[in-house]
Structure 1
Amino acid sequence: MTKNKHGKDPIVLPFLTLRNISTIQDQENNRKIYTGQISAFSILDLPSDENVREFLPEASPKRRSYTQVHREILETLENNDADFNVLNSGITVVAKSLSIDDNKKEMKLVGSSIINGSQTQGVIRDHYNNLSEDARNEFKGIVKFEIIVTGDPNLIAETSISRNYQNAVRLLSIEGRRGQFDELQNALDPGGQRGLKLQKSESDLSEDIIRTEKLLQILVTLIPKELWERTKPKTHYNKAYAYSMKSKCLKEFADAYEAAKNPEDSKHAELKELYQFYLDLVFDGYNLYQKWKHHQGFIGRNIRNGLKWEGRSIKEVSDGFVFPILAAYSNFITKVNDRWTLMIPSHLDENDLIGFIHQVYSDLSRANPQHMGKTESSYVFMESITRMYRRAIQAEGS
């Protein structure tokens, strides 16, 4: 996490109420969650480095006027400050660590950032700056807060994206309404002949609709290393985020779409190639996922977790197994006649892949499929196996 722009770290904040609401699942994932209430003016020094949305009037010199949301926040502060904590949804903060002094009713946050609520903070700051000293002392506004204490940067990023884009209309609905999934839908099912339909809105809840966010997670997992390095040159080659960060995968697709359609975009050429990858691989990627999601080769492997059964058959395999296996297939994706193509060697033994992922499950992931799906080493190991496999095939053919 970057140093906050206010230059204060740690930050000490007085609180009115504070409660630890962490669950066993939170403890198992090395995080804590607190909730409480704080005086509105006490949040002004909190940084917002990890937030995907800055305070909009401050972020853009051309946009000095408030939006309707800003006006409503300000109206409540001016006319009904005693009810602000009821009428406003509050803020969400992440921190690397938190310590509490119950006697002083203070909390000390290290590596903290607002990830949802920058608009609320920005309007409160403007209101504070416009008040006299006496009016500030009479102000009764209180803000609800949630603090997520974690050292996981992927969780921080995903939470920031999710919380911001779920406030009004989810990014899925926004991009669907803009037509950004139309070409992906046509590539998946040209002319509607296959009966495959993508979800384009959060209200599309039919069981037979393919979840677009899930599909994009699959495609990110399949990106070949050479394409990744051309289109994400400053990003560490690590696909583990695709397992759990669906909002990030969706946003990356939206960015690729926008750049591909705009020749003046500085990233037009490379992101156009990435966008074409999505279109070329969407059908094969979907089918590959479905195949492994219901693969019967996991029977008899002494796997205690991550398999759903229907009688003696496997009904569903956990994504924690499936996603690292999908990453292994990225070594078999190449360009043929200017089209990205999945070329699976005819003598690839799927049981070997199951054996290798079972080894990861047993040795590296504490026999926990969820942990395996989130761990970079799972993907590195599986890709290294098929990379050697590919080199062996190339050597035979030379």
Structure 2
Amino acid sequence: MEAEGVIVVRELDLKKDLLEVEDLERRCEVGNSGKISLFTDLHGDPISRVRHSPAFLMLVAETAKEKEIVGLIRGCIKTVTCGKKLSRNGKINTNNNTNELIKPVPVYTKLAYILGLRVSPSHRRMGIGLKLVRQMEKWFGENGAEYSYMATENDNLASVKLFTDKCGYSKFRTPSILVNPVFAHRLGLSDKVTVMRLSPSDAESLYRKRFSTTEFFPRDIDSVLNNRLSLGTFLAVPRGSYSADTWPGSDRFLSDPPESWAVVSVWNCKEVFTLEVRGASLAARALAKTTRIVDRALPFLKLPSVPELFRPFGGHFLYGLGGEGRSAGKMVTVLCAHAHNLAKELGCGVVATEVSNREPLKSGIPHWKWLSCDEDLWCIKRLGEDYSDGSVGDWTKSPPGLSIFVDPREV
């Protein structure tokens, strides 16, 4: 526990602090507009967004005299890929000449993540956010984290200023958050593509063999895929190449893949939190309601209706998106349609994902611009020495790759 002036920073006591923390969350609505805000309801579990991570902590800031909670912060630690190196594994024989087989392998680092920093509107510009960040970073360091990062919106100037000017973070990556509404009608899937559900073990094998060198890839991908919130991993292949009856397993599939394929996993955020759009005009609400009425009455028109976003709604998050081949983008579109239909069955309002701005498959992801964020901002800080083998050096200074792996546990 840390006391500085009239503010005490301590660990969350879930039984004691629940109601106060919920009230603080409600007063700290977030959104990308001055008039429309997005309220997050964590279902009475303030640490629900981090409790699925290997190590996590939530701190609260309270006034020393009144014992009023005026700030909070969440943090977690995991091991992820921060780069890759070339490794010589075994031998290959070409034209009777023996050569070393060289392939890229991941370089891992212990990474901490800060999320959910909140300060009561009545106690802002008093240094409370800075105290919370510093105390969380102390915990990160005590638990061996080598880097810390956080995500915020580019136009959240107060947050950006706090982390870059006062906490020593630097701007690192600017991925895109892509959000698509779930319509009242189902989306049709191409008859040229087969969508198969992979077992968690098959999905793990595929991810480790094809995507383990992707930035931010979690070393414990098996824990993610086997989590109860992970609704499955889905593979799209050309019609006729494979089916559930002829599926050979990921290892054999990757040894002789079809010309094009794509994969994505689905995470059930609805079980963790719900969202609610507030501040929309009556005219906007009426228009949205009209589109839903028409869509339900005439589903064959396939009207792109606006779901009920002005009451609490849930969503699904797509992660592990990737693929290969010239038609991979089109297959990603099919997978997104499949995910949309799954979300519709489970009563969700949106399907979302987050990808690198340079992601080659980004164009295949359907989304509505007004619901999405073109440039989310990730900032990073080096906490101590890099304990990797030296292949990467200082990760904070590395150029971005084509793709990133967004861990659904931190959404």
What TM bracket, shorter-length normalisation?
A: under 0.3
Instruction: Report the structure, 1 or 2, having the larger strand content.
Output: 2
Ranked by relative contact order (alpha carbons within 8 Å, sequence separation 6 or more), the top structure is: 2
Indicate the structure (1 or 2) with the bigger Cα radius of gyration.
1
The normalised TM-score by structure 2 is: 0.21
